[in-house]
Amino acid sequence: MARYEVIIIGGGPAGLTAGLYTSRAGLKSLLLEHGALGGQMVNATLVENYPGFPEGIAGPELGSLMHQQAVRYGLEVVTAEVIGISQEQPYYSISTTEGSLEASGVIIAAGSEYRKLGVAGEERLSGRGVSYCATCDGFFFRNREVAVAGGGDTAITDALELSQHASKVYVIHRRDQLRAGKALQERAFAHPKLEFIWDTVVEEVSGDKVLEELKLRNVKTGQQSNLKVNGVFVAIGLMPNSRSFFNIMELDDAGYIVIDETMATSAPGIFAAGDIRRNSPRQIAAAVGDGVTAAMSAFKYVQEQGNGTRITSP
């Protein structure tokens, strides 16, 4: 069984930063990622609020640069999905789709995934009119009518982006006012292509081979209606990818990992960073900071356990 001093789970900005710091500190480090390196930021056409890029930078490019930098300092990267973690003193055993590994310390930066509507037809028509990424799929709906489910920053940002392609964008929100920031709201209300459907939820997604219609319900009156659209973009929040870790550490009621100020979890030697931790602001810059803190804490833990002698620090 391959053994590392630190194994990092997740290849988003938190995980890549943690890998950079542990590798530069001389720890034998491995990063496990089952999807695209870069995490959620690869879906961003332009990242405008990350320090150091006054003109902005494409999300995939930023992810690629972080990866290159971490690998340059010795981080190993393996494509695999983590199934679970168990403690076998003095190491942690990490079960993956590519086999089992051992580590003295673990950093969980597995991020989050898009929350689904959970209605009939959603899974069947996913990729056939049902989408969770306006940046990825908006172009395919040029000159067509689409809907966005949600009322937060992500939903309104998606609606505004889709307006560049679609002929009409319906915003379906279960409340009578948006949760998005004031600036986004002002832009949205002023946009001629956006139409708002208040106090309403999607109850079913229907169509033969592709999406053709949404079945809606007004949450106040109970009145049902149908809306013919070619696409629906679901933007109702994220869910932490913590299913594989519930048996070994404390999670809050929403499934986020509970940590302290050092990013330490309730399991000694396991740290969490980025969107998967409780109270994360879900920003790239914050995830990077989490990754630094988690790496430094893991470095200290490995030293104290006597599982490696180090003369440098992160």
Same domain, 99 and 15: yes
Indicate the pairing of strand 194-197 with strand 168-172: parallel
Same domain, 154 and 18: no
pLDDT classification of 308: cutoffs 50, 70, 90? very low
Q: Name the nearest CA neighbour of 301 among 30, 93, 104.
A: 104
Distance of alpha carbon 112 from its chain centroid, rounded? 4
Residue 123 lies in a domain: no
Q: How far apart are CA 140 and CA 60, in angstroms?
A: 20
Same domain, 136 and 203: yes
Distance of alpha carbon 270 from its chain centroid, rounded? 20
Residue 215 lies in a domain: yes
Phi, psi (rounded to 5 degrees) for 184: -65, -40
Indicate if the pLDDT at residue 251 is higher than 90: yes
Same domain, 103 and 242: yes
CATH at 205: 3.50.50.60
Question: Which letter, b or e, does each residue of 44-75 get, where b requires 16 or more Cβ atoms within 10 Å of its Cβ?
Answer: beebeebeeeeeebebbebbeebbebbbeeeb
What local confidence, expressed as pLDDT, does residue 109 receive? 97
Q: Determine the structural domain holding residue 275 and report its residue range.
A: 2-113+238-305
Mean pLDDT of the 50-75 span: 95
Residue 220 lies in a domain: yes
Q: How far apart are CA 42 and CA 58, in angstroms?
A: 8
Same domain, 30 and 167: no
The string of pLDDT tens digits covering residues 71-130 is 999 999 999 999 999 998 889 999 999 999 999 999 999 998 888 999 999 999 998 999
Q: Name the nearest CA neighbour of 309 among 5, 12, 85, 50.
A: 5
Indicate if the pLDDT at residue 286 is higher than 50: yes
139 in helix, strand or coil?
Answer: helix
Residue 312 lies in a domain: no
Q: Name the nearest CA neighbour of 301 among 265, 251, 275.
A: 265
Confirm if 134 and 118 have CB atoms less than 8 A apart: no
Number of domains in the chain: 2
What local confidence, expressed as pLDDT, does residue 120 receive? 97
112 in helix, strand or coil?
Answer: strand
Indicate if the pLDDT at residue 242 is higher than 60: yes
Residue 118 lies in a domain: no
The share of the chain scoring above pLDDT 90, in percent, equals 82
Same domain, 56 and 83: yes
The string of pLDDT tens digits covering residues 115-135 is 899 999 999 999 899 999 887
Residue 121 lies in a domain: no
Query: Which residues are designated catalytic?
Result: 133, 136-137
CA–CA distances in Å: residue 304 to residues 241, 249, 269, 301, 307: 29, 21, 10, 5, 8
